[in-house]
Chains A and B, each alone.
Chain A
Amino acid sequence: MDILQILLTESFWAATLRIATPLIFGVLGALICEKSGVLNLGIEGIFVAGAMAGWMTVWFGFSLWTGLLVAIIVGGFFGLIHAILTVPLGLSQHVSGLGVTMLATSVSYFTYRTALPKVSSPPKIEPFQPLDVPFLSELPFVGPILSQQTAMTWLAILMVGLVWWIFNRTPLGLSIRAVGDNPNAVDAQGLSVYGIRIGSIIVGSSIMALGGAFLTMSAFDSFFFGMVNGRGWICIALVIFASWRPGKALLGAILFGAFDAFQVRLQTEVGAFLPSQVFLMAPYVLSIIALVIVARRAEYPRALLKPWFKGAR
């Protein structure tokens, strides 16, 4: 099978969307935080927390959607911690984010291990099933790909549109974009800089948690240690690649997913010649390359990483 043939198979594109989904959530969440001026390195830990919390809710008998709700709340909770440390207290966003990642990860692992005894194979839940959307699934080529996706992937795509609308068509989005450029501008217009930033971080973190929840509730059906495996960090790189725009974020996530899906298939083709690890490294190497390419021209939100205090002029 050559490259073109791989690209023409449905399973390739279905896998692409599946790999891209958690990244879409993660990039959107990180984008919202950073647009408001705060870097949220808690993303990796929030992925873990979302994955664990959502899964465990279902394990204890609640519905999948309840699980997602719990994941959202848990994500928002850790986001609140990061928000308090970085916004009113103005502490180092790097250190605070890393602290949140450590906290969220350790809390999740501890809770999981305490609630569930060690067993030989990880316990499973009934995950989201592929969603058959009436009209769309009958389209040629695209149809079968879409019908293999679960509700969460649809949710991710809808969320891209929602975030785009909010940023570009609503006063709320305008204030977020403004506060990430010049908080003084927002303050002078009577709006609350603290409120907008804290709100953005909480919402962004909730969305990040959905990325983690996707792993345990849709892509797979159990929770295991180390499953997030750096996806959060990849999202941070992808945000820069996406120039902090929701549409580009979707594109970047899909591109990345495609590359990852491609590399898996490539492994089965040329696996004999290269050790499997070379392929495993590929996503991370690709992210670094993507970052280096766009870094020079990247237009970071001007107020990113700069704490703002009321009354300090």
Chain B
Amino acid sequence: MIRIEPREMPSKWWTIGIPIISAFIAILLAAIPLSLADANILEAYRQMANGIFGSTFAFTEMLTRATPLIFTGLAATIAFRAKLWNIGAEGQLYLGAMAAVAVGTGLIDAPAFILIPIILLAGALSGAIGMAAPTYLKTRFGADEVVTTLLLNFIVIIFLQMMLEGPLKDPMGMGWPQSEPIVDNGVLPQLLPRMRMHAGLIIALLTAGLVHLFLSKSIWGFKIRAVGENPSAALHAGINVKRTFMGAAVVSGAIAGLAGVSEVAGLRGYLTTDLSPGFGYTGIVVAMLAGLSPIGVVISAIFIASIFVGADTMSRAIGVSSYLADLVVALSLICVLIGGFIARYKFIRTNKGNV
């Protein structure tokens, strides 16, 4: 019989190694659905690698894909550190995108160095409100934020449809529900010529650095960590738990909103209902794989983006459904959960019975 005992102190190697191992196991496990789909497994993996490393363009595509994931991963990280279950990053992303489009398609005429910060601010504010509202319902009424943020996602998307067929609609869009394009001064600049990689990546990396700084070294970060680990002890010690939740909510939502701004003002140029293929939800996996570490989020986002981009290429090359990527992502989440458990506990074999 196997008994479980907590380890004294999980070693640092485990903490970093587990996500890496989990990621690889998840990729290896992909071989199962691949073989069930009658695909040539080696060829599939080769095509995936091709899609990431095959050319400079492929590599920058991967980084472009990672950009929104860094944002949503950070959003999840901050919230989850406070044990505030923000599952609404998807909706907050769209709120940010809508604000960007409301402000940046001609409402304001200003040079880029003024307009871009305004757009970023509008998007952040919009996303912040998107998380502040459910969190307020939690602190005031005790309404569980998991459900409210989830349901809010659906409400936001329907609201988006309404906006895109109404006030935000592009009169020159040939009838399609899409917004007007962001004006030139509002577009986030490209980082390399002929590549789609844009300044949103820089903003994302800066944000990651700031989040890391504040979470580990600031009083505010301390309070978030304390509240997340033991809210009753934190309350007893004099920390304002409700204010801490709201603070975490506002920052988390704001960063998710920035994801939307980044996609609209950096990549697409205009807003449609399919701006995000689930970046908000994937951000949760990014954050968990990173062990809720902001720097880890960058690496984790790159990994997950690689899977999606690689799967797209593979799908086009050998015809296997690109939903394989979602499968691998889901598997990595489960693997990292199990891995975290193995890191925190050790297994002791005992004989059944008396000894």
Contact = CB atoms under 8 A, between A and B. Distances in A.
So, do A and B actually touch in the complex, CB under 8 Å?
A: yes
Interface of A: 41, 81, 85, 89-92, 94-96, 98-100, 102-103, 105-107, 109-110, 113-114, 229-230, 233-234, 236-237, 240, 275, 277-278, 280-281, 284-285, 287-288, 291-292, 295-296, 298, 309, 311
B329 A106 contact: yes
Contacts of A85: 334, 337-338
A114 B36 CA distance: 9
Interface string B20-57: 00000000000001001100000000000000000000
B320 interface: yes
B329 A91 contact: no
B181 to A, nearest CB: 23
A302 to B, nearest CB: 15
- Classify the interface of chain B: helix, strand, loop or mixed: helix
A102 B333 contact: yes
Nearest to B329: A102
Contacts of A292: 137, 141, 143
A275 B154 contact: no
Contact of B334 (A103, A291, A295): A103
Nearest to A233: B150
B162 interface: yes
B288 interface: yes
Contacts of B85: 94
A106 B33 CA distance: 11
Given A99-B333, A100-B334, A230-B150, 17 more contacts: A91-B341, A102-B329, A110-B33, A110-B37, A114-B36, A229-B154, A233-B151, A240-B147, A277-B161, A278-B162, A281-B159, A284-B151, A284-B152, A288-B143, A291-B143, A291-B147, A309-B4
B142 A95 contact: no
B162 A41 contact: no
A110 B159 contact: no
Contacts of A309: 4
Interface residues of B, number: 46
Nearest to B321: A113
Contacts of A229: 154
Interface string B323-337: 110110111011001
B61 interface: no
A90 B161 CA distance: 41
Contact of B324 (A105, A110, A287): A110
22 contacts: A85-B337, A85-B338, A91-B341, A95-B288, A99-B285, A100-B334, A102-B281, A103-B334, A107-B327, A110-B323, A114-B320, A233-B150, A234-B151, A236-B146, A236-B147, A237-B147, A277-B162, A284-B154, A284-B155, A288-B148, A295-B141, A295-B143
Nearest to A89: B341
Interface string B281-325: 100110010000000000000000000000000000000110110
Given A229-B154, A281-B159, A288-B152, A105 B326 contact: yes
A277 B158 CA distance: 6
Interface of B: 3-4, 33, 36-37, 85, 87, 137, 141-144, 146-148, 150-155, 158-159, 161-162, 165-166, 281, 284-285, 288, 320-321, 323-324, 326-327, 329-331, 333-334, 337-338, 340-341
B334 A99 contact: yes
Contact of B333 (A95, A113, A288): A95
A99 B320 CA distance: 23
A80 B165 CA distance: 44
Nearest to B87: A98
Nearest to B287: A95
Nearest to A94: B85
A75 B312 CA distance: 29
A275 B147 contact: no
A190 B143 CA distance: 36
Contacts of A288: 137, 143, 147-148, 151-152
Contact of A296 (B3, B142, B162, B321): B142
A277 B162 CA distance: 6
B341 A285 contact: no
A81 B327 CA distance: 15
A234 B154 CA distance: 11
Contacts of A113: 321, 323
A95 B158 CA distance: 26
B327 A295 contact: no
Given A98-B284, A233-B151, A234-B151, A41 B326 contact: no
A285 B340 CA distance: 37
A110 B321 contact: yes
Contact of A109 (B148, B150, B323, B341): B323
A281 B158 contact: yes
Given A106-B330, A107-B327, A277-B162, A41 B288 contact: no
A298 B142 contact: yes
Nearest to A300: B144
Contacts of A278: 162
A90 B341 CA distance: 9
B341 A233 contact: no
Interface centre among B85, B330, B337 (most CB of A within 10 A): B330
Contacts of B146: 41, 94, 236
B327 A106 contact: yes
A106 B87 CA distance: 18
